[in-house]
Amino acid sequence: MTNVDDDNTPLLRVRDLRVDLTLPSLARRPIIRGIDFDLAAGEALGLVGESGSGKSMTARAIMRLLPPNAETHGTITFDGNLVGAMSKTQLRRLRSHGVAMVFQDPRAHINPVRTVGDFLCEGMVSTRGVSRKAAWERARTLLGDVHIADPERRMRQRPYELSGGLLQRVMIAAALAVEPQLILADEPTTALDVTTQEEVMAILDEQRRQRNLALLFITHDLELAAAVCDRTAVMYAGRIVECGPTEGMHSTARHPYTRALLAARPATTEPGLRLQTIPGRPMAAWDVSTGCSFRSRCPISTTECEHDEPQQRAVGTATVSCHHAQIGVPA
Ligand SMILES: Nc1ncnc2c1ncn2[C@@H]1O[C@H](COP(=O)(O)OP(=O)(O)OP(=O)(O)O)[C@@H](O)[C@H]1O
Ligand SMILES: [Mg+2]
């Protein structure tokens, strides 16, 4: 395995990640247009952006689970090893030990005819070589950890007998069973009602803190990311346009897109007033030609934004891709 570890290497390092897809028409579509971020062991990073901005593709690239028509450039380093250089065996190990995923729709990732207990035990028996009895006991403990009452009964049930919220807790337990260093959670609560959403998020947050796991939390909801993440990266049209500590992002959002996302949230809208929406349509990564991808929706764009794509630069404690980003501009 290609090891590039040094004392400062974070758990996950993504550098100039680019993903292009070749369509059946043979046209090439840039989907991810060069993103960089680091994730330290035990740290939680929120990856936030509108639908189509490239969040899930980023997660899939980290797991090397992109579709066959995808071409990847750049480097992803996990625990000091280049993911792009991993053999099949090493990749299997990455997916069964190093990194675990939790998805939006648990029902799409669980066999509907097997019991919950079988689902949880299968992975442990096949990848860890533990006995079925030991796996069963561990699964029961894990279900207790995610606050599922009467775990023994739940383990004998089939997925359709569990609510969406309970099933998502089962998926969190399955992720923890891997004893990962990193959890990639791709909109794990988007399909749930608000109360259940809060419960599931609280459990994920509690467990990852207790176990000191790193979390890449993908969501379109900036507030939700703020509630659980140390840092937040905002994606737009296949690039990260702002990345910085979550604390303070509300008051010092530096990219106009981040500010627009914050303004569009119901919590910041007075009762009785219409929810502010971001004018215009999201820009697809492959539609970006010259200049800033956000300029057609941006209230402060200038001719410079038409001609030059802004590069990432440090603005205070954040990195921002905007010609007009400054410290101290309130949200
Ligand atoms: N197999 C594919 N073929 C063509 N385009 C694709 C394919 N998969 C994804 N895309 C495109 O890549 C872009 C990024 O997709 P991605 O799934 O990463 O978005 P996302 O930010 O996760 O959005 P969402 O919030 O809706 O989940 C989208 O515009 C999507 O249409
Ligand atoms: Mg997605």
- pLDDT profile of the chain (331 residues), mean per 10: 63 97 90 96 95 95 96 96 95 93 92 95 88 96 97 97 96 95 95 90 96 96 92 96 89 87 69 63 82 91 92 91 75 43
**Tokens at 265, concatenated:** 């949230």
pLDDT of 331 reads 43
Q: Whose CA is nearest to atom 2 of ligand 1?
A: 21
Task: Write the DSSP assignment of 116-169 as a string of letters.
Answer: HHHHHHHHHHHHH---HHHHHHHHHHHHHHTT-SSHHHHHTS-GGGS-HHHHHH
pLDDT at 278: 79
Q: Give the tokens for residue 62.
A: 């980290």
In a 13 Å sphere around the CA of 242, the CA atoms on its Cβ side amount to 31
Transcribe 48-107 into DSSP letters.
E--TTSSHHHHHHHHTT---TTEEEEEEEEETTEEGGG--HHHHHHIIIIIEEEE-S-GG
Query: What is the per-residue pLDDT for 5?
Result: 55
**Using DSSP, how many helices (H) and how many strands (E) does the chain show?**
11, 12
Q: What's the pLDDT score for residue 157?
A: 97
pLDDT, position 290: 86
Going by alpha carbons, the residue nearest to atom 29 of ligand 1 is 52
**Cα-to-chain-centroid distance, residue 202:** 16
Query: In the structure, which protein residues have their CB atom closer than 6 angstroms to any atom of ligand 1?
Result: 21, 31, 49, 51-57, 67, 220, 284
Ligand nearest to the CA of 58: 1
Give 171 Cα–ligand 2 centroid separation in angstroms.
Answer: 17
| Ligand lying nearest the CA atom of residue 65 | 1
CATH of 12-113+158-320, one of 3.20.20.70, 3.40.50.300, 1.20.120.1200, 2.60.40.10: 3.40.50.300
Any residues with CB less than 8 A from the CB of 326 and at least 6 apart, and which? 254, 315
- C-alpha to C-alpha distance for 293 and 254, rounded to whole angstroms: 16
Q: Record the tokens describing residue 255, joined without a space.
A: 């990219």
Q: Which of 206, 175, 20, 15 is nearest to 99 (CA)?
A: 175
